Every structure is written in structure tokens, then in C-alpha cells.
């Protein structure tokens, strides 16, 4: 079966009947002339930052994007230390100019740490994902706020919203609240806790 012409019905049929191995189906694509070319040549598990062994912070939620650089593609990653269940430290960033072989040390994103609130709580940021914006040559790091009391996640969270910071010319801008007029906004960002 030619995977370039595989439609939803054929995919479900093949997957449910086991007539085509999903690994083969998803790991190859057809090119002109019917030649099969692997989509992914190989996958290698590599530990970028150690920490769970007690040698340093335990890093969590690594998310990366690629962007063109003066000497080729740069991989740009955000990550943050995790201090416990749902207890995220300040957002950091690092980059690789050799497609992930080596990385810079994590550096703090100044505007995406914890901010003291008038009620004694602290507002942090989590679930940050970077995305390169080619038209402006910037990286947008988008996540959402989260609140802590006594260095612990508050079970009954105050209102939450998306936040972002922009990386431009090697510097981070301030934390900003993403505003939009859609009335569904609060429901998108409200967290359900059992």
C-alpha cells in the first residue's frame, strides 16, 4: 500500500486488522518513482542534563524549536527545574548549535520566575513552549501562570491565564499576559484538580 495515498479509512483498517505493521507504515513515505524513504533514520535516547541522581537540579518540561543561525540551524530549548509535584522553578533556556550534540548551560529567563503577590502567594510560570517566528527573527516562549503558597502548589488556584516572553537579539523581554476577548478563555486555562 502506498503511504502517500493512505487515507483515514485505509489507515484504520490496516491498524485494526494488523495487515500492515504500523511501524513500517509510519516510518516510510513514498517519493516520486515509488521509492520508499525512511522518515526517521534512527532515534537515540540522550540525557542532556543530569540531576535526578542528586548531582544538581532535576530539569523538567524540556521543549525545543529550531531557528536559523549564522553557522546553521540552532536548537533552542526551554526547561525548568522541578521541585516536587506540580512545583516548578523558574524557566531557563539553552541552545545547541550542533543539532543537540552539545548544549550551553541553562540560563534563567528573567521574566519567567516567581513573583511575590500581595496576598503572600507567589505567581510562577509552567508548561512553557518556545516557537521561532521567522518573520520577526524572535522566539516566543508561551506558557501559563501558576500559584504557590509556602513553596507548594495551591490546590484551589486563583484565576490563571497564558503568559509569554519574547527572545530577540539574544535578550529576553518581560513577562506579559496574553489578552484576548474570547469568552471561552477562562475555561481553556482553568485546571481541573481531582
Q: Which residue has the cell 516557537?
A: 131
Centre a 10 Å sphere on the Cβ of residue 172 and count the other Cβ atoms it contains. Answer: 19
CB distance 97 to 72 below 8 Å? yes
Strands 176-177 and 162-168: antiparallel
Nearest alpha carbon to residue 39 among 52, 53, 26, 55: 26
Nearest alpha carbon to residue 160 among 148, 146, 149, 174: 146
Tens of pLDDT along the chain (194 residues) come to 444 445 555 545 444 444 334 444 444 555 555 667 666 778 888 888 887 787 888 898 899 999 987 888 999 999 999 988 888 999 999 999 988 889 999 999 999 999 999 999 999 999 999 999 999 999 999 999 999 999 999 988 888 888 999 999 989 999 999 887 777 766 665 544 44
Q: Is 113 helix (H, G, I), strand (E, B) or coil?
A: coil
Q: Measure the N-to-C terminal CA separation of the chain; round to a whole number of Å.
A: 45
Quick check: pTM over 0.75? no
Query: Would you state the cell numbers that stand for residue 30, as one nine-digit string?
Result: 513514498
Q: Please state, in angstroms and rounded to a whole number, the distance separating the CA atoms of residues 88 and 79.
A: 10
CB distance 138 to 131 below 8 Å? no
- State CA 3 to chain mean position distance: 29
Amino acid at each position: 500500500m502506498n503511504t502517500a495515498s493512505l487515507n483515514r479509512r485505509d489507515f484504520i483498517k490496516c491498524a485494526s486488522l494488523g495487515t500492515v505493521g504500523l511501524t513500517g507504515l509510519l516510518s516510510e513515505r513514498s517519493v516520486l518513482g515509488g521509492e520508499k524513504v525512511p522518515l526517521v533514520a534512527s532515534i537515540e535516547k540522550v540525557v542532556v542534563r543530569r540531576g535526578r541522581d542528586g548531582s544538581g537540579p532535576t530539569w523538567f518540561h524540556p521543549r525545543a524549536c529550531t531557528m536559523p543561525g549564522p553557522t546553521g540551524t540552532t536548537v533552542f530549548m526551554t526547561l525548568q527545574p522541578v521541585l516536587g509535584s506540580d512545583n516548578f522553578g523558574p524557566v531557563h533556556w539553552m541552545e545547541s548549535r550542533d543539532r543537540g550534540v552539545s548544549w550551553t548551560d541553562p540560563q534563567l529567563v528573567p521574566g519567567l520566575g516567581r513573583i511575590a503577590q500581595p496576598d503572600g502567594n507567589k505567581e510562577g510560570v509552567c508548561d512553557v513552549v518556545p516557537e521561532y517566528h521567522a518573520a520577526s527573527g524572535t522566539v516566543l516562549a508561551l506558557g501559563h501562570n501558576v500559584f504557590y503558597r509556602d513553596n507548594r502548589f495551591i490546590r484551589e488556584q486563583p484565576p490563571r491565564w497564558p503568559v509569554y516572553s519574547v527572545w530577540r537579539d539574544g535578550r529576553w523581554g518581560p513577562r506579559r499576559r496574553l489578552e484576548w476577548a474570547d469568552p471561552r478563555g477562562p475555561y481553556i486555562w482553568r485546571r481541573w484538580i481531582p
